[in-house]
């Protein structure tokens, strides 16, 4: 069982796709500015490290571990990237990785890339990293507290991305939110445990083997009790709000919103038609449809045959 | 001798724009416009044939996105308009909605076509040349450099990961098997083993990044590490883009004109 979070093209309405493209572009733009600042100290120069670690995230997504027959835990890596590179640089790396997956591996669509990068890159990495930091601070800011925070945030990031994916599909009218949301959240709540366990184990390994690398990126901050309390309450409040939102999801309400926004039946009406109901004018009903159909099929087969020959001759030259 | 990747030294902006515009046009087609979708696919098959990829091969390679259709299955049974069939299967009462079926099928075909479009882009222009084209189109330098390096080191690190996985399999934390192949340890033990692999892959990637930086610095690199030099700008870019937009407009028009089921 793998996370189904890379939306292909065709499943999202064009309006929603473009909206999420804009949102992603704006936030990645902010990340580009922020990542250039000097508050994050990396040992290697930033673009090189980001590029190689992008390839690392790619490769790390191949790692899985068996949970039960047919089910495996595996890694998306958003929070991990955010922890190792800082939230902003991590976001850029994840967005880039998701873009390359769409372009090179057809994993997720090009038009849907805005949505995929938003769900996994912006919410999963940027949001996840801030949640991780917040939890780490609230728990006292030691290294192990911050790693625990990363684990909890990794779980949350997977579940949140799954929830967002379903909501976007629902708003586009390609899934039923009332059925889809509990199913997706349920499955990804399990997958998220794998993500959390791997993230914690990987960070623990790195912290033990090469503490100097982590020291520059996310130095544990000694927080005052007041700040710890405030951060803790803020995060608990945020999570509780989200949870209650999902728990009390009113599917009819969401569907009503989708309908009002016009995604559901977008463009189902056309102004005029050339061959109404697949018939050729002049012939009567049944015969006409059959003739049109047969003619159409013959033309298509002929075209495909010609294209096959063209392809062979072009491939040889 | 190292072969030059396809498209390097060529301005492939027009191809990138054409792919994005085509995918958008396909996405804009209303549900049930199967004829317009067929037309879009034939257009794509023609482009494929010009690139030496026959329609059968193209069609087969487009199947990768299809498993996602699971997400659209519920609406086939849950929408209550244009009922095609209603009845009970065992203890369940089921209904099949024509509208839902149309939406699911349209999404499926659109996904199938769009995947082929991006495959053709890759057949026409190499990944580095696409990054260069995006750089030209004002993709921020940090992203362009990092994307270029990710693409360049992708196979290397995936290969490393593959070897680590094989080593893990040999040492028994492998996926569920039976008898002597049985997995070792509890779930948290397996997760920790996998996490250790991820951690050590990170350390290897990190030291590789440092080596790349030293190598680049010793050769006089100044910061931007984009692949290759900028090819000369395509002088006919404007005309090509206008042509592409006209084609896309025509597709959208066909979508409105042709009959739908």
Q: Is B96 inside a domain boundary?
A: yes
Task: Report the run of H or E that residue A34 belongs to, with start and end.
Answer: helix A14-35
Q: Are the Cβ atoms of B114 and A109 closer than 8 angstroms?
A: yes
Residue B63 counted as domain residue: yes
C-alpha to C-alpha distance for A224 and A229, rounded to whole angstroms: 9
Helix axis angle for B98-124 and B34-50, nearest 10°, is 10
Examine the domain organization and report whether B198 and B249 are in the same domain. no
Which residues in chain A are contacts of B81 at CB distance < 8 A? Answer: none
Same domain, B49 and B83: yes
Q: Percent of chain B having pLDDT more than 90?
A: 31
Residues of chain B in contact with residue A278, where contact means CB-CB under 8 angstroms, are: 259, 261
Same domain (yes/no): B18, B119: yes
ipTM of the complex: 0.85
Q: Do B52 and A314 touch (CB under 8 A)?
A: yes
Check whether residue B192 and residue B75 sit in a common domain.
Answer: no
pLDDT digits (tens, 9 = 90+) for B7-42: 456 788 899 999 999 999 999 888 888 889 999 999
Tokens of A115: 């949505």
**Any chain A CB within 8 A of the CB of B48?**
yes
B42 and B99 inside one domain: yes
Query: Which residues fall within 8 angstroms of residue A279, CB to CB, at 6 or more apart?
Result: A285, A288, A289, A292
**Residue A92 — pLDDT band, cuts 50, 70, 90?**
very high
CB atoms within 10 A of CB B219: 7
Check pLDDT > 80 for residue A212. Answer: yes
To test the contact with chain B by mutation, choose from A19, A96, A254 the residue with the greatest count of B C-beta atoms within 10 A, namely: A96
Q: Residue B145 in contact with residue B128, Cβ under 8 Å? A: no
The mean pLDDT value for A165-174 works out to 88
The pLDDT, as a whole number, for residue A265 is 47
Instruction: For residue B132, tell me if it sits in a domain.
Output: yes
Determine, yes or no, domain membership for B125.
yes
Q: Which of A105-109, B43-47, B80-84 has the lowest mean pLDDT?
A: B80-84
Predicted confidence at residue A71, as pLDDT, reads 63
**Domain check: are B92 and B213 in the same one?**
no
> A124: closest CA among A172, A182, A83?
A83
Q: How many Cβ atoms sit within 10 Å of the Cβ of residue A18?
A: 16
**pLDDT confidence band for A311 (50 / 70 / 90):** confident
Highest mean pLDDT among A176-190, A288-302, B143-157: B143-157
**Per-residue confidence (pLDDT) for residue B41, from 0 to 100:** 94
Domain assignment of residue B147, yes or no: no
CB-defined contacts A:B, below 8 A: 353
Beta bridge partners of B96: B85
Indicate whether B21 belongs to any domain: yes
B238 and B131 both lie in a single domain: yes
Q: What is the pLDDT of residue A68?
A: 63
Q: Same domain for B164 and B211?
A: yes
Distance CA A79, CA A197 (A): 12
Identify the pLDDT of residue B229.
Answer: 61
Task: State how far the alpha carbon of B211 is from the alpha carbons of B73, B143, B217, in Å.
Answer: 49, 21, 10
Half-sphere exposure of B152 (CA within 13 A, CB side): 21
**Any domain includes B148:** no
Nearest CB to B196; choose among A4, A49, A205 = A205
Query: Could you give the angle at the alpha carbon of B187 between the alpha carbons of B181 and B188, nearest 5°?
Result: 130
**Residue linked to tokens 């799954």:** A162
Flag whether B142 is in a domain: no
| B150 vs A7, A45, A55: nearest CB | A55
Q: Which residues pair with A72 in a beta bridge?
A: A66
- pLDDT tens column, B69-120: 877 877 888 777 777 777 777 777 777 888 888 888 999 999 999 999 999 9
Number of C-alpha atoms within 13 angstroms, CB side, residue A150? 27
Question: How high does pLDDT run on average in chain A?
Answer: 79
| B17 and B119 in a common domain | yes
My answer on whether B21 and B45 are in the same domain is yes
Check B68 against A200: CB less than 8 A apart.
Answer: no
Q: What pLDDT score does A267 carry? A: 41
Domain check: are B109 and B234 in the same one? yes
Q: List the structure tokens of A242.
A: 């989200």
Rounded to 10 deg, the angle between the B237-257 and B34-50 helix axes is 150
> Domain range holding B200?
155-218
Structural domain total, chain B = 2
What are the Cα distances from residue A288, in Å, to A254, A285, A301?
43, 5, 20
B252 and B124 in a single domain? The answer is: yes
Q: What is the DSSP secondary-structure string of B90-106? A: TTEEEEEEHHHHHHHHH
Q: Which residues pair with A66 in a beta bridge?
A: A72
């Amino acid at each position: 069982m793998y996370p189904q979070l890379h939306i292909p093209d065709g499943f999202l309405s064009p309006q929603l796709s473009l909206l999420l493209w804009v949102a992603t572009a704006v936030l990645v733009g902010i990340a580009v500015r922020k990542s250039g600042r000097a508050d994050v100290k990396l040992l290697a120069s930033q673009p090189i490290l980001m590029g190689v670690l992008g390839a690392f995230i790619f490769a790390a997504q191949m790692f899985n571990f068996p949970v039960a027959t047919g089910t495996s835990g595996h890694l998306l890596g958003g929070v991990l990237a955010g922890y190792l590179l800082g939230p902003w640089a991590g976001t850029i790396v994840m967005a880039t990785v998701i873009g390359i997956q769409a372009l090179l591996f057809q994993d997720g669509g090009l038009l849907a890339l805005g949505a995929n990068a938003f769900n996994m890159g912006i919410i999963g990495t940027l949001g996840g990293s801030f949640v991780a930091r917040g939890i780490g601070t609230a728990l006292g800011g030691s290294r192990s507290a911050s790693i625990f925070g990363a684990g909890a945030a990794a779980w949350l990031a997977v579940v949140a991305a799954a929830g967002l994916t379903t909501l976007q599909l629902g708003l586009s009218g390609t899934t039923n939110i009332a059925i889809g949301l509990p199913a997706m959240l349920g499955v990804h709540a399990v997958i998220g445990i794998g993500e959390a366990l791997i993230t914690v184990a990987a960070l623990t390994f790195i912290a033990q083997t090469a503490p100097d690398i982590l020291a520059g990126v996310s130095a544990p901050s000694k927080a005052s009790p007041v700040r710890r309390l405030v951060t803790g309450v803020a995060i608990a409040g945020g999570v509780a709000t989200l949870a209650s939102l999902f728990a009390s999801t009113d599917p009819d309400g969401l569907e009503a919103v989708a309908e009002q926004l016009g995604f559901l039946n977008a463009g189902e009406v056309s102004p005029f038609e050339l061959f109404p109901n697949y018939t050729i004018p002049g012939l009567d009903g049944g015969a006409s449809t059959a003739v049109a159909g047969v003619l159409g099929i013959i033309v298509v087969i002929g075209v495909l045959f010609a294209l096959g020959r063209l392809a062979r001759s072009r491939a040889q030259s | 001798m190292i072969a030059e990747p396809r498209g390097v030294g060529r301005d492939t902006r027009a191809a990138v724009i054409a792919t994005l515009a085509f995918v958008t046009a396909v996405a804009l087609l209303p549900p049930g416009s199967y004829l317009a979708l067929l037309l879009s696919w034939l257009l794509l098959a023609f482009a494929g044939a010009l690139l030496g990829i026959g329609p059968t091969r193209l069609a087969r390679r487009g199947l990768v996105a299809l498993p996602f259709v699971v997400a659209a299955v519920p609406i086939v049974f849950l929408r209550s308009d244009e009922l095609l069939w209603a009845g009970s299967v065992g203890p369940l009462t089921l209904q099949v909605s024509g509208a839902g079926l149309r939406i699911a099928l349209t999404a499926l075909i659109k996904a199938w076509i769009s995947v082929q479009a991006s495959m053709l882009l890759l057949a026409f222009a190499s990944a580095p040349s696409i990054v260069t084209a995006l750089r030209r189109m004002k993709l921020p330098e940090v992203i362009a450099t990092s994307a270029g390096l990710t693409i360049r080191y992708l196979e290397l690190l995936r290969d490393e990961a593959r070897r680590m996985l094989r080593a893990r399999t040999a040492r028994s934390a492998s996926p569920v098997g039976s008898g002597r192949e049985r997995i070792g340890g509890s779930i948290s033990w397996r997760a920790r083993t996998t996490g250790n692999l991820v951690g050590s892959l990170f350390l290897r990637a990190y030291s590789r990044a440092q080596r790349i930086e030293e190598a680049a610095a010793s050769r006089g690199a100044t910061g931007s590490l984009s692949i290759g030099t900028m090819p000369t700008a395509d002088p006919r870019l404007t005309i090509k883009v206008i042509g592409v937009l006209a084609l896309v407009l025509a597709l959208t028009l066909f979508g409105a004109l042709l009959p739908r089921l």
